[in-house]
């Protein structure tokens, strides 16, 4: 894995690299981080090696599916790009011996949150990381206006077709009070500032 130089002793980079591999390698293996999961509205580029007719941009439909030539309709929502590629590859094996499928994420418009009401710049915002909080969303929206009702902010979320409402108290969050004020947003969440 790492070679030690025998003439001058181990290199500093080699020791640091070995320490990182031993320390962090186990951490990465244990987290079970599956990567970005596709959502409706996302756009992926799909290509099959040495098959120029099988290269195209594919939209994840509102029902969570995609369509690709020869593979037909497949489920994409909740899959990583690697999993979608493997699914397309298994379907193409009926027509192409040993297909090599590449799927790359092109656009993530399905990965958005919405902030409306008494903020300086209401609108929809892309979620780039998984840990966007209500405070960060309010910051993206330019902060609260002077007449915003800081204690009556709500997060609206669709869960299994039903709307869930989560209260958020801006004043408590500013003071660092109450861990319940750290609400991590999910794609599609709406932050309402009355």
Judged against a pLDDT cut of 50, whether residue 25 lies above it is answered with: no
Judged against a pLDDT cut of 90, whether residue 59 lies above it is answered with: yes
Q: Which domains does the chain have, with CATH numbers?
A: 43-107 (3.30.1950.10), 112-193 (3.10.560.10)
pLDDT band at 34 (very low <50, low <70, confident <90, very high): low
Burial of 22 (0-12, 13-18, 19+ CB in 10 A): exposed
What is the number of other CB atoms lying within 10 angstroms of the CB of residue 165? 9
What would the pLDDT profile of 68-115 be if each residue is shown by its tens digit?
A: 999 999 999 999 999 999 999 999 999 999 999 999 999 887 788 999
Judged against a pLDDT cut of 80, whether residue 52 lies above it is answered with: yes
pLDDT band at 24 (very low <50, low <70, confident <90, very high): very low
pTM: 0.60
């Amino acid at each position: 894995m790492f070679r030690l130089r025998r003439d001058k002793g181990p290199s500093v980079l080699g020791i640091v690299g070995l320490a990182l591999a031993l320390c962090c390698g186990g951490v990465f293996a244990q987290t079970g981080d599956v990567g970005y999961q596709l959502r409706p509205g996302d756009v992926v580029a799909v290509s099959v090696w040495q098959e120029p007719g099988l290269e195209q941009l594919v939209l994840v439909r509102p029902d969570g599916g995609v369509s690709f030539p020869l593979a037909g309709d497949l489920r994409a929502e909740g899959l990583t790009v690697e999993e979608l590629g493997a699914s397309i590859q298994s379907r193409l094996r009926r027509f192409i011996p040993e297909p090599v499928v590449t799927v790359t994420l092109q656009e993530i418009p399905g990965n958005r949150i919405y902030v409306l009401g008494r903020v300086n710049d209401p609108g929809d915002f892309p979620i780039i990381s998984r840990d966007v909080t209500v405070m960060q969303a309010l910051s993206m929206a330019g902060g609260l206006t002077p007449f915003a009702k800081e204690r009556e902010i709500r997060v609206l979320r669709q869960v299994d077709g039903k709307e869930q409402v989560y209260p958020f108290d801006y004043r408590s969050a500013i003071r660092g009070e109450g861990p319940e004020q750290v609400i991590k947003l999910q794609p599609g969440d709406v932050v309402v500032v009355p």
